[in-house]
A and B are shown apart, each in its own frame.
Chain A
Amino acid sequence: MLNFLARRTLTLIPLFFGITLISFAVIHLAPGSPIDVLADLNPKMTAEAKQRLVTYYGLDKPLHVRYWQWLHRFVALDFGVSFSADRRAVMDKIRESLPITITINVLSLLLILMIAVPIGAYSASHPYSTFDKFLTVFVYVGFAVPTFWLALLVLILFSVQLEWLPISGLTSLDYAKLSLSGKIWDLTSHLILPVLLSAFSGLAGLSRYMRGSMLEVMRQEYITAARSKGLSEAQVIYKHALRNALLPVVTILGLSVPGLIGGSVIFEQIFGIPGMGRLFYTGVMSRDYPLVMGILTIGAFLTLLGNLLADVSYAFVDPRIRRGGRA
């Protein structure tokens, strides 16, 4: 088992550096450069001034030299300094946004699970019933409706008309002066709409998957056996079918782990949330190479880690994989 783990990990290392190399090359292929923001159509920028900036950012060096420098810093876990005017460490910027995005994503994923599993299970146990059809329409509406439009509608209803919830941001102006419970409510009230909406838009995938998986299980012989034993329908469904139907769903959940750090640009834009989506987007638009590389690298790392964990857990349950097919 250890041998297997070591082998898998070793193969991931070149893969990881391959990803960073390709990412580095690709982001430099896009037209434009970080100094464009300062230099494009700016009457105050002479050719010499532009040249000074190019040198300052090290853009005059060939690509492989720059990648080597980046790698050099990276092995010391230093993502460098952002090219934007604030000159802050890339790591600081990511550290500010990451907890916000992870919180929202985890909450909405939990919410999706809590709703999608019962929906899927119900739909599968009552296929083609009116309520099943209703649920199908409901989740597809969530999937299909443009989120920015829906977000604005709920903002108008809950925040402007009813004045129940705040509109944008994560905290109120006087957050620092609130008591602990006040702070918790303040944060919660700011998170309700973004979390609800992102859960609504993500409901379709998981609930349909759940329904499919459950229908599949319901056709199995052991369900027939359970029924023939005289178990009640509820026992059959919730004890025997549901558990087995959940397995593939859990796999899907595992695959969504890297997605937890990726924020949605649209949600963050509408609700004014300083998360990873906008950080990455503005980084790309202003050709902030260190920042973009930083986020891509973390994403690559998490994806590979997710894959490794999946492999390991498969190996754990299936000896054929563990022995590398030599059994």
Chain B
Amino acid sequence: MKARFFLFLFLSLYGCGERERAETREIGAKPPAVSREPAYGDTVIEGSIGDATNLIPMLASDSASHSISGLIINGLLKYDKDVKLVGDLAESWEVGQGGLQIVFKLRRNVRWHDGHPFTARDVLFGFQTIINPNTPTAYAEDFRQVKKAEALDDYTFRVTYEKPFAPALSSWGNLVVLPKHLLEGKDITKSELARRPIGTGPYRFREWISRDRVILEANPDFFEGRPYIDRYVVRVIPDLATMFLELKAGGLDLMGLTPMQYKRQTSDAFFEKNFRKYRYLANAYTYLGYNLLEPKFQDKRVRQGLSHAIDKEEIIKVVLLGLGVPATGPYKPGLWFYNPNVKKYPYDPSKALALLKEAGWEDRDGDGLLDKNGQPFEFTVITNEGNALRLRTAVIIQERLKKIGIRMKIRVIEWSAFINEFIDKKNFEATILGWTTGFEPDPYDIWHSSKTGKKELNFITYKNAEVDELLEAGRRIFDQEKRTAIYRRFQEILAEEQPYTFLYVPEALPMVHARIHGIEPSPLGISYNFDRWYVPEGLQKYGRLAISP
């Protein structure tokens, strides 16, 4: 269970979208008519199914840790509401020498929570720590592309790359900013900062009771201004049903709902009055991937036919209760590199049959199954155990394919065996899996032909020379317009070739207590501007907290 949970977050550093379509909607209670002026005070309590593990970002790999440390520790850059990179601890930055060099100008007068001034040496120290082979981190790779990193003075940090590497820019987030004065000469894996972090962010660490709760409090000296909400609490409640009861009883102010809770359990007067529901596309998609080493899947007409035979709308309606959109490629709609004009595969069994017939598959012996060279069309789809959505998706696809004469078997396998024995060894015909996506479009590791080795991520063995060229070019260019053109073309090719049948992009469904104001949904979700959330004076539930300056 845990592994699957991590998986989702892991893949979170590359990306998706289209700006012309703001995907976030807000429904539920209208804010009450009392004063809506921002005010300081109150506490926001969020529910989480898992505890954080480590609050030093480069050492953690779970979303619980990252969402908490994100409030405590700043990066050099961050994404703004429109998914554009803007300065965080960096005031400005410049990409020079044809993309080989990035110079960050840092903010002055920023202090760590212990009062020590923040300088470029902290960034350099963080960088040296993350590329140190003795640091057990999953994030070193982007930083290994750096040839040289220098702190030119207290407020100027310069990195030089071997080759231009566009995805690098977004890597200068909070993974590499560490308080040098507290960590120098120490083993980072034994540092108490893992459990009592010191950062520069809007919230300071207060308390962590293992597997129970983490408490943060507002940093009055935050460089962008003191956050309104005095206290932020994450409560660990591993069971979603209990979490929902806790929300209903007032013990929580914020949680992510399941589609069932969103659709069926939160529409009565009580919830309308006390909560607001949000929905936005999650950074993830689910797909049916074909092993292209299998002869029957090597003909693109077969894959196109299968895509036409699968009713994505039906899957979304049944599995997600309508809370998602069909996926058209490896990115979610709503971000700058998303291409809405690719070939689509609406449900059309007759077209599916025609395409399969062209490829030589038809029911010659009248047994109801398509056949070719005397072999019936049958294959096995594997997916991992414990993911009910994927299993239900598989069952619906099975039923649709049966209707056009294809026998699909489903096999569900425990995660470790699934990855080690089947995916890594390419020992499968087709698989239903998901990738998480991010705000950087480079998916080199999943689609480039050089990544088809054992244990690599192009495990369906997709090889296309033009895609290779595009992916190589895309990561060497910083210019957004040129990159847009590259990744749009890449999506056209994938849509034409259907190495995956891209199934759906699910929606994230957070629900927040109605007293909380200042939430501005964006493709990033809702929590990116948590420091600007507030509860108007008369509506505060927990009141003000004495916070020492």
Interface residues of A (CB under 8 A from B): 30-32, 36-47, 49-50, 52-53, 56-57, 84-88, 93, 96-97, 148, 152, 155-156, 159-160, 163, 166-171, 173, 268-272, 274, 278-279, 282, 285-287
A-B contact pairs, 5 of them (CB 8 A): A30-B416, A38-B6, A41-B11, A50-B455, A282-B2
Give the chain B neighbours of A36 by CB distance below 8 A.
3, 415-416, 419
Interface residues of B in 117-153 (CB under 8 A from A): 133-134, 136, 138-142
Contact at B210–A41, with CB atoms within 8 Å?
Answer: no
Given contacts A37-B6, A86-B195, are A44 and B210 in contact (CB under 8 A)?
no
| Distance of B212 from chain A, by nearest CB (Å) | 5
The answer for the CA separation of A163 and B251 in the assembled complex, in Å, is 11
Contact at A155–B138, with CB atoms within 8 Å?
Answer: no
B interface SS class: mixed
User: Does B78 reach chain A (CB closer than 8 Å)?
Assistant: no
Give the chain B neighbours of A46 by CB distance below 8 A.
141
The answer for the CA separation of A254 and B443 in the assembled complex, in Å, is 59
Contact at B238–A269, with CB atoms within 8 Å?
Answer: yes
The answer for the CA separation of A173 and B131 in the assembled complex, in Å, is 40
Given contacts A37-B3, A37-B6, A167-B245, are A85 and B239 in contact (CB under 8 A)?
no
Contact at A272–B2, with CB atoms within 8 Å?
Answer: no
| Distance of A174 from chain B, by nearest CB (Å) | 9
Contact at A41–B10, with CB atoms within 8 Å?
Answer: yes
The answer for the CA separation of A287 and B415 in the assembled complex, in Å, is 12
Interface residues of B (CB under 8 A from A): 1-3, 6-7, 10-11, 13-14, 43, 45, 51, 53-54, 59-62, 65, 133-134, 136, 138-142, 189-190, 194-195, 209-213, 233, 235-239, 241-243, 245-246, 248-249, 251, 414-417, 419-421, 423, 433, 435, 443-446, 455, 457
Contact at A40–B142, with CB atoms within 8 Å?
Answer: no
Given contacts A37-B2, A168-B251, are A85 and B416 in contact (CB under 8 A)?
no
Give the chain A neighbours of B245 by CB distance below 8 A.
152, 155-156, 159-160, 167
| Distance of B365 from chain A, by nearest CB (Å) | 40
Q: Closest A residue to B235 by CB, please name it.
A: A169
Q: Closest B residue to A283 by CB, please name it.
A: B2
Give the chain A neighbours of B136 by CB distance below 8 A.
52-53, 56-57
Contact at B2–A286, with CB atoms within 8 Å?
Answer: yes
Selected contact of A85 from candidates B53, B235, B249, CB within 8 Å: B53
Give the chain B neighbours of A282 by CB distance below 8 A.
2
Selected contact of B142 from candidates A37, A44, A278, CB within 8 Å: A44
Contact at A43–B210, with CB atoms within 8 Å?
Answer: no
Contact at A285–B2, with CB atoms within 8 Å?
Answer: yes
The answer for the CA separation of A152 and B43 in the assembled complex, in Å, is 27
Contact at A31–B62, with CB atoms within 8 Å?
Answer: no
Contact at A168–B242, with CB atoms within 8 Å?
Answer: yes
Contact at A166–B242, with CB atoms within 8 Å?
Answer: no
The answer for the CA separation of A166 and B252 in the assembled complex, in Å, is 12
Selected contact of A170 from candidates B2, B13, B212, B251, CB within 8 Å: B212
| Distance of B267 from chain A, by nearest CB (Å) | 17
Selected contact of B141 from candidates A44, A167, A274, A286, CB within 8 Å: A44
Contact at A271–B211, with CB atoms within 8 Å?
Answer: no
The answer for the CA separation of A98 and B248 in the assembled complex, in Å, is 31
| Distance of A151 from chain B, by nearest CB (Å) | 8
| Distance of B268 from chain A, by nearest CB (Å) | 13
| Distance of A192 from chain B, by nearest CB (Å) | 15
Q: Closest B residue to A50 by CB, please name it.
A: B455
| Distance of A177 from chain B, by nearest CB (Å) | 11
Given contacts A45-B138, A160-B245, are A87 and B3 in contact (CB under 8 A)?
no
Contact at A85–B242, with CB atoms within 8 Å?
Answer: no
Contact at A41–B138, with CB atoms within 8 Å?
Answer: no
Give the chain A neighbours of B242 by CB distance below 8 A.
152, 155, 167-168, 269-272
The answer for the CA separation of A152 and B265 in the assembled complex, in Å, is 15
Give the chain B neighbours of A86 by CB distance below 8 A.
53-54, 194-195
Which of A36, A43, A285 counts the most chain B CB atoms within 10 A? A43
Contact at A49–B141, with CB atoms within 8 Å?
Answer: yes
| Distance of A9 from chain B, by nearest CB (Å) | 35
